[in-house]
């Protein structure tokens, strides 16, 4: 195995990723006997998509991970001969059980495997796989894969991601007494391929997650269209009698497919903890040359707010990574960049900014002293928009240079609260515990480690600015 260079300037230090090669979707998340198990789509043969296996890691604290042996490998001449694609894990009367998509030729069909030990190292694939032979015959289904399974009363329920030809993405609802025999019920929800507002949801929904958040249910799907992974969409609404009535639809992360295919689990404390796959923003060749591709997001805690929107915050456990705090006193922002004394590529930053009369507030990250390289996190108050602008992120023209963002409006009288995690090529931002935006950037210069702030169209005031250097999660 080609090991990535430990000094690779783009390789994250406190985000989870495998020792080498390709990773995509988080799978089979389960808090099992006091430890968090994270499985993931993995190609052990290189830093490119192919021959999907399930990689495996475990953590006691949600922060530091131990790599474990590959959990699922495709079995020749079987329903998963061409790949063990995405799926989930449940506790079935004390037996950890996986429901995943077995890929075989053009099809992906639901398969089951059960744990043979308490460390979830060895798995037995069910002899009766696939457990569903085909998509529902009464629908013209274009794609069919990925699973979320939950318990209601004496029965198991499952949604499978799919698309209905010329109609839109969907999550198909099934029911089972034993996870082996499944009865198709109806689509839990159907998207409209032709609707572009408030957000276009593509022709197929991958990786559905159906979360009971108490006050609301959330259906989170990854919108897909003709082979393109678009972004993660969150529908919140009401669920009763196996019917889901969405009230709001929005992107879950404004960084589009830099945050994709998320999966959540409920831990022993009752928290809904969610991870997503942070895709790369550089060429396939650059990924192969680096020997790794794909990063897992930080664990995000998801809850329903009283107004029905989601609250999303980084897991507080991450605070153990903090080194010394550097704090800045109050600061008036103007249109000239104010460069901070703090810098680095592995930082956590919390800023509270009173927008005052400013129409735009900008935070430049991974910034070179001459600003030739910089990535700008921008809140455009007039437009009601939050974005990451990577058009100047790197002098390396082969990396992505774009602006990704979406609607975000500060409630009247609220300060802008930015919680930012910088980890080499990864930027994860939580704004007012409400909106997330993820970026991937690959600065070419070693001195692109600066931070600067500016306000345009008027003045703004920084009331709090805390920066910590963050430690690596690997000992
Ligand atoms: N990736 C998996 C699929 C899923 C897609 C295969 C989303 O199960 O639909 O690698 O990234």
The residue to which tokens 């037995």 are assigned: 124
| Cβ contact 147:99 at 8 Å | yes
Whole-number Å distance, alpha carbon 74 to ligand 1 midpoint, is 15
Distance, CA of 331 to CA of 339 (rounded, Å): 11
Whole-number Å distance, alpha carbon 25 to ligand 1 midpoint, is 6
At 10-59, the pLDDT tens digits run: 999 999 999 999 999 999 999 999 999 999 999 999 999 999 999 999 99
Q: Strand pairing of 426-431 and 107-115?
A: unpaired
Is the CB of residue 41 below 6 angstroms from any atom belonging to ligand 1? yes
Q: pLDDT at position 307, please?
A: 84
Whole-number Å distance, alpha carbon 146 to ligand 1 midpoint, is 7
Q: pLDDT at position 398, please?
A: 97
Distance, CA of 195 to CA of 152 (rounded, Å): 33
Active site residues per annotation: 25
At 76-93, the pLDDT tens digits run: 999 999 999 999 999 999
Is the CB of residue 206 below 6 angstroms from any atom belonging to ligand 1? yes
Q: pLDDT at position 308, please?
A: 82
The residue to which tokens 């830099």 are assigned: 258
Q: pLDDT at position 336, please?
A: 97
Distance, CA of 186 to CA of 204 (rounded, Å): 16
Is the CB of residue 101 below 6 angstroms from any atom belonging to ligand 1? yes
Instruction: Give the strands of the sheet with 35-43, arranged side by side.
Output: 66-72, 53-59, 35-43, 21-32, 292-293
At 237-257, the pLDDT tens digits run: 999 999 999 999 999 999 999
Is the CB of residue 82 below 6 angstroms from any atom belonging to ligand 1? no
Residue 422 has pLDDT above 70, yes or no: yes
Whole-number Å distance, alpha carbon 221 to ligand 1 midpoint, is 12
Alpha helices in 268-399 (DSSP H): 284-290
Q: Nearest residue CA, atom 9 of ligand 1?
A: 206
At 175-213, the pLDDT tens digits run: 999 999 999 999 999 999 999 999 999 999 999 999 999
Is the CB of residue 399 below 6 angstroms from any atom belonging to ligand 1? no
Contacts of 32 (CB under 8 A, 6+ apart): 89, 91, 96, 118, 120
- Mean pLDDT (the chain) is 97
Q: pLDDT at position 6, please?
A: 87
Q: pLDDT at position 475, please?
A: 73
| Cβ contact 81:74 at 8 Å | yes
Q: pLDDT at position 198, please?
A: 95
The residue to which tokens 């032979």 are assigned: 133
Residue 133 has pLDDT above 80, yes or no: yes
Report the pLDDT averaged over residues 280-285.
98
pLDDT band at 283 (very low <50, low <70, confident <90, very high): very high
Ligand 1 pocket: which of 83, 261, 293 to mutate (most atoms <8 Å of CB)? Answer: 261
pLDDT band at 1 (very low <50, low <70, confident <90, very high): low
Whole-number Å distance, alpha carbon 42 to ligand 1 midpoint, is 11
The residue to which tokens 């006091």 are assigned: 34
Is the CB of residue 207 below 6 angstroms from any atom belonging to ligand 1? yes
């Amino acid at each position: 195995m080609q090991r990535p260079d430990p000094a690779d300037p783009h390789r994250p230090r406190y985000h989870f990723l495998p020792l080498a090669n390709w990773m995509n979707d988080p799978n089979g998340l389960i808090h099992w006997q006091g430890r968090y198990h994270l499985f993931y789509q993995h190609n052990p043969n290189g830093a490119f998509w192919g021959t999907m296996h399930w990689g495996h890691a475990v953590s006691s604290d949600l922060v530091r991970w131990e790599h474990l042996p590959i959990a699922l490998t495709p079995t020749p001449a079987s329903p998963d001969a061409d790949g063990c694609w995405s799926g989930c894990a449940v506790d079935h009367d004390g037996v950890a059980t996986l429901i995943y998509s077995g890929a075989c030729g053009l099809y992906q069909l639901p398969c089951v495997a059960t744990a043979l030990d308490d460390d979830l190292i060895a798995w037995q694939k069910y002899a009766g796989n696939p457990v569903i032979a085909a998509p529902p015959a009464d629908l013209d289904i274009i794609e069919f894969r990925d699973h979320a399974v939950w318990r209601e009363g004496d029965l198991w329920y499952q949604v499978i991601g799919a698309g209905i030809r010329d109609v839109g993405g969907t999550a198909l609802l099934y029911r089972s007494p034993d996870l082996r025999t499944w009865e198709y019920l109806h689509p839990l929800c159907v998207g409209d391929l032709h609707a572009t507002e408030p957000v276009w949801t593509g022709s197929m929904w991958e990786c559905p997650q159906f979360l009971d958040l108490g006050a609301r249910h959330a259906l989170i799907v990854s919108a897909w269209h003709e082979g393109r992974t678009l972004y993660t969409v969150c529908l919140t609404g009401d669920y009763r009698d196996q019917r889901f009535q969405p009230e709001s639809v929005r992107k879950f992360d404004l960084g589009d497919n830099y945050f994709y295919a998320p999966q959540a689990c409920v831990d022993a404390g009752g928290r809904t903890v969610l991870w997503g796959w942070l895709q790369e923003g550089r060429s396939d060749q650059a990924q192969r040359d680096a020997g790794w591709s794909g990063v897992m997001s930080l664990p995000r805690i998801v809850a329903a707010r009283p107004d029905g929107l989601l609250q999303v915050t980084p897991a507080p456990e991450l605070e153990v990574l903090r080194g010394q705090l550097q704090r800045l006193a109050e600061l008036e922002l103007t249109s000239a960049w104010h460069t901070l004394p703090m810098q680095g590529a592995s930082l956590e930053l919390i800023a509270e900014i009173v927008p005052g009369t400013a129409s735009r507030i900008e935070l430049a990250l991974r910034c070179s002293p001459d600003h030739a390289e910089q990535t700008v996190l921008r809140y455009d108050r007039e437009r009601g928009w939050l974005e990451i602008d990577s058009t100047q992120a790197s002098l390396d023209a082969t990396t992505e240079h774009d602006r990704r963002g979406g609607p975000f409006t500060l409630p009247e009288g609220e300060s802008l609260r930015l919680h930012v995690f910088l980890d080499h090529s990864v930027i994860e931002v939580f704004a007012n515990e409400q909106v997330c935006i993820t970026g991937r950037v690959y600065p070419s210069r070693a001195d692109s480690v600066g931070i600067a702030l500016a306000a345009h169209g008027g003045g703004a005031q920084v009331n709090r600015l805390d920066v910590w250097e963050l430690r690596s999660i690997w000992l």
